[in-house]
């Protein structure tokens, strides 16, 4: 099941976030110098994946090599309007001089932009003129409405001696993707609610892992509700309130995923210290709250002053995508180590019945993998990839319900709860005088301590 889910998401992810170069940002490099797996043109080296061959012509994507901007008119020309109020280009002595900003703060260093000429927009876009804007170091356009536009969505030039920007605005509601996104958001909200309720009903013995799932699902439910409210109304105050709620709860929600992994690792690393659950639970709450508040506080100063914004360095750290791989390798090593210790093997039933444990590792890996899609907008902001990404993000709740509730272990617990079958816990019967087999509670909870092997040894002395 998980192999199929992972394969589907890998295919969707690679298809959606594949580096697609819009036609407005392509440059004909057919006359460039061709080498082994590269093409040199206009001082830029294009390697495989940064150019493509279309109808015997080679087209390069300079924006994938260095920051780029678009100039509406060719060099030594500027914008003007004719007698019929149509925009056209005329000769000019102005040279494009772009001031660079970090958010709304000017930067001193010079940025070497690659300039692409043309004011091409898609057919269903509306051109909007802007005179107050901030060109970012990566070539993106930022305005007072806190909206970013990639280089293919705007162009710069002079009009009567004043630099202006022509912005290509494409309404999302004209796309059929909008309906799919809305449906997935509503379904995911319901799925998060169901997941939180189901795990609250089957919460026994103060299991931290189940509490983490409840916290994650509840927070994400509020995140999606905030998203729905922001999409159905345009009140400025409500947008600020629910926008802050959306950002804050998103950060809090994703912290519960690594905490769940840390708890799994802890139970394998320290199998005999499973009594301090309450202490660890409060410790996890403190750590997640402190880190979330710290990130939100730092974000207030990372971009536009006073506007919450997750810092790029937090998401783009080069080791961020290696955590899951390292986590599974380390825990596998400790499983083997504990498996060789007779005292541990006889005390904890999950060492023998490790299928449940492996299932939980795969579950968290899939959920975290899907959550990484939320970071993709930092890298891919083109219209061709943004909407499919929105669909995958909106389906996170559906995946969570399928992975955490509809698996055979959780279904078994819910079934027992629904049928009200009496279960016998290890602590409810005397184990000092007899050896007992694994109880149903042990089967549903692989970390439940089972001391019947040691007790049986003492009784046989």
Q: For the domain 2-64, what is the CATH code?
A: 2.30.160
Rounded Cα distance between 265 and 251, Å, is 22
Other CB atoms within 10 A of residue 352 CB: 14
Sequence-distant (≥ 6) Cβ neighbours of residue 112 within 8 angstroms:
66, 67
Rounded Cα distance between 328 and 320, Å, is 15
3-state SS of 128-154?
A: EEECCCEEECCCCEECCCCCEECHHHE
Sequence-distant (≥ 6) Cβ neighbours of residue 228 within 8 angstroms:
185, 186, 189
Quick one: which H or E segment has residue 157? strand 154-159
Buried b (16+ CB within 10 A) or exposed e, 229-248: bbeeeeeeeeeeebbebbbb
Determine the topology of domain 175-457 in CATH: Rhopdopsin 7-helix transmembrane proteins (1.20.1070)
H runs (alpha helix) in 168-235? 177-201, 208-232
DSSP 340: T
Residue 393 has pLDDT above 80, yes or no: no
Residue 439 has pLDDT above 50, yes or no: no
Rounded Cα distance between 415 and 409, Å, is 10
Structure tokens at 370: 């899907």
Sequence-distant (≥ 6) Cβ neighbours of residue 315 within 8 angstroms:
375, 378
In this structure, whether the domain defined by 68-170 belongs to CATH 1.10.1760 is answered with no
Sequence-distant (≥ 6) Cβ neighbours of residue 28 within 8 angstroms:
57, 58, 59, 60
3-state secondary structure of 191: helix
DSSP 456: H
What pTM, to 2 d.p., does this model score?
0.45
Rounded Cα distance between 255 and 112, Å, is 38
Report whether 16 contacts 372 (CB < 8 A): no
Rounded Cα distance between 113 and 63, Å, is 9
Other CB atoms within 10 A of residue 281 CB: 17
Where are the chain's structural domains? 2-64, 68-170, 175-457
Question: Per-residue pLDDT tens for 188-231?
Answer: 888 888 888 888 887 766 677 778 788 888 888 888 888 777 76
Quick one: which H or E segment has residue 101? strand 100-102
Q: Which of 38-52, 186-200, 446-460 is least confident? A: 446-460
If one compares 416 and 273, the residue with the highest pLDDT of the two is: 416
Between β-strands 134-136 and 126-130, what pairing exists: parallel, antiparallel or unpaired? Answer: unpaired
Report whether 397 contacts 190 (CB < 8 A): yes
Mean pLDDT of 275-296: 70
Question: Per-residue pLDDT tens for 287-305?
Answer: 777 776 666 666 555 444 4
- Our CA angle for 39, 53, 50, nearest 5°, is 50
Percent of the chain, pLDDT > 90? 2
Separate counts of helices (H) and strands (E) for the chain:
14, 18
1-15, 324-338, 394-408 — most confident range: 394-408
């Amino acid at each position: 099941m998980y192999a199929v889910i992972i394969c589907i998401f890998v295919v969707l992810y690679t298809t959606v976030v594949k580096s697609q170069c819009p036609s407005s940002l392509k440059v004909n490099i057919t006359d460039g110098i061709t080498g082994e797996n590269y093409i040199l043109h206009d001082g830029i080296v294009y390697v495989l994946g940064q150019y493509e061959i279309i109808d015997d012509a080679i087209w390069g994507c300079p924006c994938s090599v260095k920051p780029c901007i678009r100039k509406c008119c060719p060099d030594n020309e500027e914008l003007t309007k004719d007698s019929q109020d149509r925009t056209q280009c005329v000769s000019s002595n102005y040279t494009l001089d772009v001031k660079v900003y970090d958010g709304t703060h000017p930067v001193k260093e010079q940025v070497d932009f690659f300039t692409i000429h043309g004011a091409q927009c898609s057919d269903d876009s509306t051109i909007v003129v802007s005179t107050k804007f901030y060109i970012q170091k990566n070539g993106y356009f930022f305005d007072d409405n806190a909206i970013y536009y990639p280089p293919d969505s705007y162009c710069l030039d002079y009009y009567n001696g004043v630099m202006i920007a022509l912005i290509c605005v494409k309404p999302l509601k004209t796309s059929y993707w909008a309906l799919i996104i809305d449906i997935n958001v509503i379904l995911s909200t319901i799925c998060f609610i169901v997941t939180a309720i189901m795990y609250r009903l089957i919460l026994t013995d103060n299991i931290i892992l189940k509490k983490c799932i409840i916290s994650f699902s509840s927070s994400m439910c509020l995140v999606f509700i905030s998203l729905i409210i922001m999409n159905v109304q345009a009140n400025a105050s409500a947008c600020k309130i629910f926008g802050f709620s959306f950002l804050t709860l998103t950060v809090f929600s994703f912290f519960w995923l690594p905490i769940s992994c840390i708890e799994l690792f802890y139970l394998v690393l320290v199998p005999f210290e499973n009594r301090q659950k309450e202490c660890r639970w409060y410790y996890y709450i403190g750590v997640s709250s402190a880190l979330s508040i710290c990130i939100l506080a730092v974000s207030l100063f990372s971009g536009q002053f006073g506007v919450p914004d997750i810092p790029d360095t937090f998401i783009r750290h080069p080791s961020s995508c290696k955590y899951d791989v390292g986590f599974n390798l380390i825990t596998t090593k400790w499983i083997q180590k504990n498996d060789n210790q007779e005292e541990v093997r006889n005390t904890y039933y999950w060492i023998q019945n490790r299928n449940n444990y492996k299932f939980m590792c795969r579950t968290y890996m899939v959920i975290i993998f899907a959550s990484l899609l939320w970071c993709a907008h930092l890298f891919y902001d083109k219209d061709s990839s943004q909407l499919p990404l929105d669909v995958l993000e909106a389906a996170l709740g559906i995946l969570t319900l399928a992975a955490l509730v509809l698996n055979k272990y959780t279904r078994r617990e819910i079934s027992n709860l629904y049928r009200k079958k009496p279960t016998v816990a290890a602590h409810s019967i005397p184990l000092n005088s007899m050896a007992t087999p694994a109880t149903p509670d042990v089967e549903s909870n692989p970390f439940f301590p089972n001391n019947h092997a040691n007790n049986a040894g003492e009784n046989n002395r």
